[in-house]
Amino acid sequence: FGEARIAIQVFTTLLFSGTVVLTYAIGRTLWNETVGVIAGVLLLGMPYLLTQVPLMLVDVPTMFFMTLAVFTTIIALRRGGAVPLALSVAAIVLALLTKYSAWVMISVLPVIFLVFLKERGGVVLGRAAMIAGAAGLLIGAAVLSKYDVFTEQLGLLQNYQAPALGRWGESYVSTFLFQIHPFITLAALFSLAVAVARKDLRYLIVCWLVLLILVLDIKRIRYLVPALPMLALMAAYGLRELGGGRIRRYTVSCIVFSALVTSVFGYLPFLTATSAENLKNAGEYLDSIGGENVEVVVLPQPRTSVNPAAAVPILDLFTRKRIVLSGASPEGRRPNSVETSPVRFTWEVKPVYYPDSAAAGGEEVAAIVVISDANGSPLPSPVLQRMAGHRLTKAFEVSDRVFRYKTIVRVYEPPEGTRGHDL
């Protein structure tokens, strides 16, 4: 698919849509059609979740495969049969291979087993043993075949990610009353009382992941994403108790409508007002001018520990031009405290496919692009010398007060008739 994001965005959108269907199916299977429909619709009442769908992150795929593992395991334990059992094993393996945090969340499967063991007796034992045995063999084979990779990744989790988890996180107020519609949270809390009063063991299946996250005191909302379908099911279980169908439909409609309004008129304007938007707009502008190559100068950003060169691949994502790194760019200094920083890998990942101007000598350049952290940032002498005879033709200066790392972009082109100066 080249450098186009559309393939990944279509894929994650399909997985999100599939999660809605699976959430409905779990609610219908455990209780009835009403719970399933409400739960599926309530996934649209979580503004944060909607922002994750187009991103090139693994959270939405993890959510889908975790939900798929829960649903297929429920069906396999209830009905038995070769096909349901095989589908359950496949879903569990895929869920475990998406993200390491899924290894903790897969603990919901023993809960499903215990619930149906109570309901259906010993017949469930054989089915559970086949699922656990087959899934264990497949995961074991995957780990052994890539043992070095798994060992290195687990070491990275222990030495890098685990210490970083305690440094920051969103508050539960932000997560459950803003990023998720507060009515969903209130309905989920109400459902606890309803389930306890009814002594409904099946409710343990949907509340397990949410309670697990609270008990482990995980305060990064990204780690809650795979559990959001279960939160929607909890809320649907509570909303089912509302008097009549019209009241339920009205309440759910209010939740979804207000969440969509928040997403469109709150989240979207904020996301398009960050300085990262400059890279997108600059890339589109570069595609509108002639020439094949552009030279990029990256200036240091002393107010942040992010490697300023991290902006280059992002600019490349939005332009068809061939990017050449300027030899006039000042050398960035890696901070000493970056080893356990979330931005560590902006310093360690150094793409080899961006040649510097010395290696690409003799090729023509259509423009020189300067990326800095402030409007009107002074240019070092080597940069000024490199841009002799060029004029500023376009500046992209959207800025925000939220992030210290900024990407202000200025485009310098040679005078008309001389475009195409050699590197």
Domain boundary among 229, 252, 272: 272
Residue 78 lies in a domain: yes
Which residues on neighbouring strands pair with residue 408, listed in sequence order?
Answer: 372
Domain boundary among 257, 272, 287: 272
Residue 71 lies in a domain: yes
C-alpha 288 chain-centroid distance? 31
Residue 337 lies in a domain: yes
Distance CA(258)–CA(281), nearest Å, equals 30
The sign of the torsion formed by the CA atoms of 308, 313, 316, 317 equals negative
C-alpha 212 chain-centroid distance? 21
Question: The tokens 């950003």 sit on which residue?
Answer: 301
Residues 273-323 have pLDDT tens digits of 889 999 999 999 999 998 888 999 988 888 888 888 889 989 998 999 999
Say if residue 261 is in the same domain as residue 335. Answer: no
Say if residue 172 is in the same domain as residue 233. Answer: yes
Asked if pLDDT for residue 2 goes beyond 70, the answer is: no
Q: Which of 192, 243, 259 is nearest to 34 (CA)?
A: 243
Say if residue 327 is in the same domain as residue 258. Answer: no
Packed helices 182-198 and 228-239: angle between N→C axes, nearest 10 degrees: 70
Q: Average pLDDT over the chain, rounded to whole?
A: 88
Residues 56-110 have pLDDT tens digits of 789 999 999 999 999 999 999 999 999 999 999 999 999 999 998 899 999 999 9
Distance CA(282)–CA(301), nearest Å, equals 19
Say if residue 151 is in the same domain as residue 82. Answer: yes
Distance CA(248)–CA(32), nearest Å, equals 15
Residue 320 lies in a domain: yes
Residues 23-57 have pLDDT tens digits of 999 999 999 999 999 999 999 999 999 988 888 78
Residue 340 lies in a domain: yes
Amino acid occupying residue 218: I
Say if residue 68 is in the same domain as residue 211. Answer: yes
Contacts of 108 (CB under 8 A, 6+ apart): 70, 205, 208, 209, 212, 230
Choose between 405 and 338: higher pLDDT: 405
Say if residue 254 is in the same domain as residue 280. Answer: no
Residues 374-393 have pLDDT tens digits of 877 778 888 888 888 889 99
Distance CA(378)–CA(372), nearest Å, equals 9
Say if residue 350 is in the same domain as residue 392. Answer: yes
Distance CA(383)–CA(372), nearest Å, equals 12
Confidence band of 256 (pLDDT split at 50, 70, 90)? very high
C-beta of residue 278 within 8 angstroms of C-beta of residue 409: yes
Residue 289 lies in a domain: yes
Residue 47 has a CB neighbour count (10 Å cut-off) of 20
Helix, strand or coil, per DSSP, at residue 83: helix
Packed helices 228-239 and 6-30: angle between N→C axes, nearest 10 degrees: 40
Say if residue 156 is in the same domain as residue 134. Answer: yes
Give the β-pairing of 364-365 and 421-422: antiparallel
Say if residue 257 is in the same domain as residue 318. Answer: no
Say if residue 265 is in the same domain as residue 203. Answer: yes
Distance CA(269)–CA(17), nearest Å, equals 24
Residue 1 lies in a domain: no
Distance CA(6)–CA(13), nearest Å, equals 10
Residue 303 lies in a domain: yes
pLDDT at 20: 97
- 297 burial type by CB count under 10 A (0-12 exposed, 13-18 middle, 19+ buried): buried
- 107 burial type by CB count under 10 A (0-12 exposed, 13-18 middle, 19+ buried): exposed
Residues 347-379 have pLDDT tens digits of 777 777 777 665 445 568 889 999 998 877 778
Which residues on neighbouring strands pair with residue 364, listed in sequence order?
Answer: 422
Say if residue 249 is in the same domain as residue 376. Answer: no
Give the count of domains, the chain.
Answer: 2
Asked if pLDDT for residue 7 goes beyond 90, the answer is: no
Q: Which of 57, 69, 154 is nearest to 108 (CA)?
A: 69
Q: Which of 58, 67, 10, 65 is nearest to 39 (CA)?
A: 67
Domain boundary among 251, 272, 293: 272
Integer Rg of the chain from CA? 26
Q: Give me the domain span that covers residue 263.
A: 6-272
Say if residue 183 is in the same domain as residue 294. Answer: no
Helix, strand or coil, per DSSP, at residue 344: coil
- 385 burial type by CB count under 10 A (0-12 exposed, 13-18 middle, 19+ buried): exposed
